[in-house]
Structure 1
């Protein structure tokens, strides 16, 4: 299906009505059926989402009855410093044809319009429940088996290196932010990244097409139809299996970073069993060795997830207009990395041998 495009830019710094008017114009331009729809019957409302973009629902209604809806995603300012938009669009195109996520309807200067998914966005407490966790595990295995025509090289360390190069050169006009920024030791970060990469590389983890941002807000579930949707593929690319699973486990903590909610070994094993079984109707025999390997792999890459989002947060602190304390988020993620580093790395056979 051909994707419509328009040259409209939605300015996030404008007042709500001005911004909403621009959003309506975008929808009229890219949703062909809406070209002649009166703006007054287009209702714009916010959708709960992540901390990178602004998500909106636009509904066409008549006499107070909603007839149809689309989702409008407005990219955060300067997000191209952390997101490869060409890679994202390629992934969306192929994933949507394979039944993942929403259909891409149109593009505008700083965002996209997609079909509206009738389902509830999940919360951190939802994704940790056994029923939902089992479904996510199976859906993620299916996602990992997608064959997307892009570079099969894992991008984790490439992206972290890019983030580090960008983050080390910025400065803040706000004196308090600048003071906080200057307290970050990039030398320490580089040393930790180097050590962690060597540890992770020794695992020889499988490379899969990974979501890379499977937080609760990127999982939707329709309880009436029993249908689950993985959405938002901004960070999706080929990456390490353990990284994608570990990143999801870290998201049990939510944006508040309550890592007391990080899943126990037993809870992880429950997830692994459903993941390894996949969508198969037959129960696959899973060995203790497979579970142990995945547990070690995931534990190591959980540390990489903390590093990735910690460095990412420095850039967001500089460029994002979303009301979120990104510098505090850096310290929360890097702090958890340091807190769990010895425990997680001690699980690795190579680490045990070297002790």
Structure 2
């Protein structure tokens, strides 16, 4: 993480983040052409790219668990171009360096969700296999960590 934190491209962009923007928490209204977020339990200050990474990491858990659903760098760049334009930022930030940062944050997202799942296994009253869910996230973290942090 130190190289993420020391990167000026990331370090200067701490904003109010949802911190859990996976698909069920993002509501699209086709008629009004608007997007709304729900479930603000984890909202706090964070790096904006962490929220983007969290959103992309959630793609792996849409209909089934499938890491191949994680967006390629080309898909990320298309998404980021619209995102940066909407924020009034330089669209040239939609580049491989930014995608690599997002991939690194995605590894951290999987680590955090794995830890969260283990905690939920002990405190939640829901009938959900949090241990299995956590193991999946830890597995994704291991795969991403090997290629991004070693």
The TM-score, its normalising length taken from structure 1, stands at 0.39
Higher helix residue share: 2
Tell me, what secondary structure is at the counterpart of 1:225? coil
Given that residues 203 and 297 in structure 1 are in contact (C-alpha distance below 8 angstroms), is that contact kept between their aligned partners in structure 2? no
Counterparts in 2 of 1:26-41, with a 5 A limit?
A: none
CA distance, structure 2, for counterparts of residue 279 and residue 207 of structure 1: 13
Runs of 5+ unmatched residues, structure 1: 1-196, 347-355
Given that residues 207 and 239 in structure 1 are in contact (C-alpha distance below 8 angstroms), is that contact kept between their aligned partners in structure 2? yes
Q: Tell me by how many angstroms 1:279 deviates.
A: 5.8
Q: Tell me by how many angstroms 1:259 deviates.
A: 0.8
Tell me, what secondary structure is at the counterpart of 1:321? coil
Runs of 5+ unmatched residues, structure 2: none
CA RMSD of aligned residues (A): 2.0
Show the counterpart of 2:83: 275
Which of 281, 302, 314 aligns to 2:118? It is 314
Show the counterpart of 1:286: 91
Tell me, what secondary structure is at the counterpart of 1:257? coil
* 1:17-64 CA distance string (max 9 Å, x none): xxxxxxxxxxxxxxxxxxxxxxxxxxxxxxxxxxxxxxxxxxxxxxxx
Q: Which runs of 4+ in 1 moved over 6 A?
A: none
CA distance, structure 2, for counterparts of residue 263 and residue 219 of structure 1: 17
Q: Tell me by how many angstroms 1:290 deviates.
A: 5.1
Which of 67, 85, 89 aligns to 1:259? It is 67
The TM-score, its normalising length taken from structure 2, stands at 0.87
Given that residues 311 and 330 in structure 1 are in contact (C-alpha distance below 8 angstroms), is that contact kept between their aligned partners in structure 2? yes
Higher strand residue share: 1
Larger radius of gyration: 1
Equivalent pairs, count: 146
